[in-house]
């Protein structure tokens, strides 16, 4: 079977490796090299790096809608196009090329959390379950027929990073299974219930800002959803303070002084910085001041004292 694999970030790498291991004839499409790091040097995507390591042909169109690229795909004549976090919307001119269609590895239990940030939005919303859906692509936003679906649990200690890695591995396994069944002509899709659809828009800089007037659980979920990227943040004396881990209080950490208000530092207890939230204290256990490295709260506070009464705020 001739496969064109389209993907870009780390999430897509296990899927590419899975298909390569299954022995498919693969050509890879990924985003152009982008400037990254402090030096802003052009660097290849994780998928390109893996594809080159596997000895696969790589194509990097600026836009997949370009007539020249569509013609190239037609000349490759793939049986199927497999997509995992590619980063561009495929036009009808591409969707109609492969006889077995285009299939997508989506990191949610569709029709819930269609869109660009399904893992982060699910954690932010406090969901205790998510999963992978392999769908047949159409011209809508993640609205195609479901070919295969499987779920995983989200624990209260999971972050975007831990859920991302589990889903990437699950998606790789499921994609290989779907391609095998498609090749055998034994797989039919199930239409989504569009009335149940919810959406997961891309994470914005505004999403990163902690609103201390929210409940502790809400703040904890936001921090988990943005760890390890891009990080939730607040301000400490005019400097950006990234918050990487928050937990609910225990014992003496629950005490609220008279007049305490959201964003106010209540004190330090052991290895935690206690901050007033909308419904009571929350305990910050990992943080990072602008220009410094990520630290546990105990080590951070030994080098940067934060007095009780200090107010953490919005930009």
**pLDDT values of the chain reduced to their tens digit, one per residue, 315 residues:** 999 999 999 999 999 999 999 999 999 999 999 998 777 889 999 999 999 999 999 999 999 999 999 999 999 999 999 999 999 999 999 999 999 999 999 999 999 999 999 999 999 999 999 999 999 999 999 999 999 999 999 999 999 999 999 999 999 999 999 999 999 998 999 999 999 999 999 999 999 999 999 999 999 999 999 999 999 999 999 999 999 999 999 988 989 999 999 999 999 987 899 999 999 999 999 999 999 999 999 999 999 989 999 999 866
- Among 64, 118, 69, smallest CA distance to 87 is for 64
CA distance 267 to 306: 8
CA distance 236 to 315: 10
Looking only at the bridges linking them, the beta strands covering 25-29 and 2-7 are parallel
Q: Are 113 and 137 in contact (CB under 8 A)?
A: no
What DSSP character marks residue 209? B
Alpha-carbon distances of 76 from 22, 50, 67, rounded to whole Å:
20, 21, 14
**Using alpha carbons only, how large is the chain's radius of gyration in Å?**
23
- Residue written as token pair 């196009």: 81
CA distance 181 to 176: 9
Q: Are 298 and 285 in contact (CB under 8 A)?
A: no
Q: What is the pLDDT of residue 294?
A: 97
Those residues whose C-beta lies under 8 Å from the C-beta of residue 262, and which sit 6 or more positions away, are 212, 213, 276, 277, 278
Both tokens of 13, joined, read 């790498």
- Greatest alpha-carbon pair distance for the chain in Å reads 73
Instruction: Name residue 269's beta-bridge partners.
Output: 272
Q: What is the pLDDT of residue 163?
A: 98
Return the sign of the alpha-carbon dihedral for residues 182, 142, 230, 285.
Answer: negative
Q: What is the pLDDT of residue 270?
A: 79
Q: What is the pLDDT of residue 232?
A: 98
Tell me the pLDDT tens digit for each residue of 75-90: 999 999 999 999 999 9
CA distance 136 to 115: 15
Looking only at the bridges linking them, the beta strands covering 239-247 and 295-296 are unpaired
CA distance 146 to 143: 9
- Residue written as token pair 């569709």: 110
CATH numbers and ranges of domains, the chain: 2-196 (3.40.50.170), 205-303 (3.10.25.10)
State residue 192 phi and psi, 5-degree precision: -75, 155
Q: How many CB atoms lie within 10 A of CB 180?
A: 14
- Interaxial angle between packed helices 160-183 and 13-21, expressed in degrees from 0 to 180 and rounded to the nearest 10: 30
């Amino acid at each position: 079977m001739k496969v064109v694999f389209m993907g870009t970030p780390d999430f897509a790498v296990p899927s590419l490796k899975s298909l390569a291991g299954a022995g498919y004839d693969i050509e890879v499409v990924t985003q152009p090299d982008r400037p990254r790091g402090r030096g802003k040097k052009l660097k290849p995507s994780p998928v390109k790096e893996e594809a080159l390591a596997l000895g696969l042909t790589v194509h990097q169109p600026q836009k997949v809608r370009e007539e020249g690229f569509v013609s190239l795909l037609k000349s490759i004549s793939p049986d199927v196009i497999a997509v995992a976090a590619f980063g561009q919307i495929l036009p009808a001119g591409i969707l109609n090329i492969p006889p077995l269609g285009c299939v997508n590895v989506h990191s949610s239990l569709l029709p819930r959390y269609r869109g660009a940030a399904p893992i982060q939005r699910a954690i932010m919303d406090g969901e205790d379950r998510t999963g992978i859906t392999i769908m047949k692509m159409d011209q809508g936003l993640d609205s195609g027929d479901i070919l295969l679906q499987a779920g995983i649990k989200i624990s209260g200690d999971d972050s975007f990073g831990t859920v991302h890695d589990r889903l990437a591995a699950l998606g790789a396994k499921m994609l290989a299974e779907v391609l095998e069944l498609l090749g055998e002509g034994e797989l039919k899709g199930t239409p989504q219930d569009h009335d149940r659809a919810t959406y997961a828009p891309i994470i914005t800089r505004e999403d990163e800002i902690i609103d201390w007037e929210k409940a502790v659980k809400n703040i904890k979920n936001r921090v988990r959803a943005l760890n390890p990227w891009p990080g939730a943040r607040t301000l400490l004396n005019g400097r950006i303070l990234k918050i990487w881990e928050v937990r609910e209080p225990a014992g003496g950490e629950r005490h609220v002084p008279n007049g305490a208000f959201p964003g106010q530092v209540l004190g330090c207890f052991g290895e935690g910085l206690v901050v007033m939230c909308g419904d009571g204290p929350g305990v910050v256990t990992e943080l990072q001041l602008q220009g410094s490295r990520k630290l546990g709260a105990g080590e951070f506070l030994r080098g940067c004292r934060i007095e009780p009464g200090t107010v953490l705020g919005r930009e």
